[in-house]
Amino acid sequence: MIDKNAFRKKMKEKLQATPKAFYEHYSYQIAQKLYQDTFWKSAQTIGITISNPPEVDTYQIIRKAWELKKTIVIPKCLPKEKQMDFRILERFDQLESVYYSLLEPIEEQTKRVDPNMIDLLIVPGLAFTEDGYRLGVGGGYYDRFLQNYHGKTLSLAFHVQMVKQLPTEPHDLPVERIITNEGSFFTS
């Protein structure tokens, strides 16, 4: 059995060792593949996180969505409830730094969106299998959110984040697609 915390640490080290030029280039390649995906093209409201390097850069993706007049919604964690809300982001200055240097929407400046209005949820993770299972950072927020989410799901990953297997639990739900700098995996 794989120790999740040790695996997370190892994957973070691997990602942090990626030179900046490769990080930028691979993020660009992933974004270009995303823009061609049918899930992206048909989505009007897209749930996505604000990336924190060495995660795939989402700033360029958010800007592209705004250019295309798509609605971007960003998660706001509710630690007491161990849940998250998604809120409409119209400008990057509507973000604030919370715990672990994560950027989240400022509640007073953003509007909450019903989860049923989110057409596409871009689900973050540290590692992924080709059949769509993921290893998150350990808070379980997305695992809980996905239990009642009915829209399309997709993850963005550097090829180095793709692994043969991950420890899974009964509540784990796979994403439908994974887009990497080397290709796409259609898991459903």
Cβ atoms of residues 31 and 23 within 8 Å? no
Assign domain 4-186 one CATH number from 3.40.50.720, 3.40.50.10420, 3.50.30.40, 3.30.200.20. 3.40.50.10420
Q: What is the pLDDT of residues 42-99, one digit of tens each?
A: 999 999 999 988 899 999 999 999 999 999 999 999 989 989 999 999 999 999 998 7
> Whole-prediction pTM value?
0.94
| Domain boundary assignment for the chain | 4-186
Residue whose entry in the numeric block shows the structure tokens 């059995």 = 1
Q: How far is CA 81 from CA 39, 47, 99, in A?
A: 30, 20, 16
Per residue in 4-36, pLDDT tens? 888 888 999 999 999 999 999 999 999 999 999
- DSSP SS3 for 95: strand
